[in-house]
Structure 1
Amino acid sequence: MSGMDDRENAFESKYAHDQEVEFKAIARRNKLLGLWAAGEMGIEGDAAEAYAKEVVMADFEEAGHEDVFRKIRGDLDAKSVDVSDHIIRKQMDDFLIQAREQVTSEG
């Protein structure tokens, strides 16, 4: 049975690692998205970094990505920045791809 236990432990270990990598990638995506949205709203420097952190924290409001989308959508609307829902979602997808590449290349 040791072989089966080893195999089970290896699968559990890989699953835990994959979940950690995905968590880091999503947090990185949210930061990148926040920096992008900050730029769209004319926010720069330390204020842009602070805004990006707000976007990262917004992801902890509920499961899924809609909380992040709503934050970005609401903030862009509040600043009268004309960006479509499609563009926001496209940025979310593109930044997630970029973030996964960054996180996996870091090791």
Structure 2
Amino acid sequence: MTSFDEREDAFETEFAHREELKFKARERAVKSLALWAAQWLGKTSQDSEAYARDLIAVDLASPNPDVALELIAADLGPRGITQQEVRRVMDQFLAQAEISVRGSSSQASD
């Protein structure tokens, strides 16, 4: 194997790793957002978990990256929570999830 092939393989491996981390962070952020919304909606613990699972499944199945956010915003609209507020909270959860995923990834490689 040439040096070029080795570098190409390393870049492909690194790309796949980064994409996996982004996927995990997104899934965690959607779950956190759904649980946050469930509190506003007055759902029980069990119903909150089901709500989060359903929204994660919708998020995974849809090519639209904002579908879960839009569904949550629609659910929270009658409570006076705007889509901009939901998006702001999602951005916060996504930032936290990215830090968490990077941290757990670096610990796993130690």
Preserved contact between residue 34 and residue 51 of structure 2 (Cα < 8 Å): yes
1:10 is matched with: 10
| TM-superposed deviation, 1:59 | 0.6
Q: Does 1:41 align with 2:36?
A: no
- Give secondary structure in 2 for the equivalent of 1:35: helix
Matches within 5 A, 1:50-61: 50-61=50-61
Task: Tell me by how many angstroms 1:60 deviates.
Answer: 2.6
What RMSD over aligned residues (CA atoms) do the two structures have, in Å?
1.4
What one-letter code is carried by the residue in structure 1 that aligns with 2:42?
G
Deviation at 1:68, TM superposition (A): 1.0
Equivalents in 2 of 1:11, 1:34: separation in Å? 35
Count of equivalent residues? 105
* Aligned residues of 2:25 and 2:94 also touching (Cα < 8 A): yes
| Gapped regions of structure 2 (runs ≥ 5) | 106-110
SS at match of 1:60: helix
- The answer to whether the 8 Å contact 2:76/2:82 transfers is no
**Greater share of residues in helix:** 2
> Which consecutive residues of structure 1, in runs of 5 or more, have no partner in the other structure?
none
TM-score by length of 1: 0.90
Q: CA deviation at 1:9?
A: 0.4
Runs of 4+ in 1 over 6 A off after TM superposition: none
2:56 and 2:40 map into 1 onto residues whose CA distance is 17
Could you list the per-position Cα deviations for residues 60-105 of structure 1 after superposition, in whole angstroms to 9, with x for gaps in the alignment?
A: 342242211221022223xx21101111010111110011111111
CA distance in 1 between counterparts of 2:73 and 2:4 reads: 49
What CA distance in whole angstroms lies between the structure 1 residues aligned with 2:42 and 2:57? 21
Aligned to 1:68: 68
Aligned to 2:104: 106
Q: Which residue identity does 1:18 align to in structure 2? A: R
> Which residue is 1:81 aligned to?
79
Amino acid at match of 2:4: M
Match of 1:93 in 2: 91
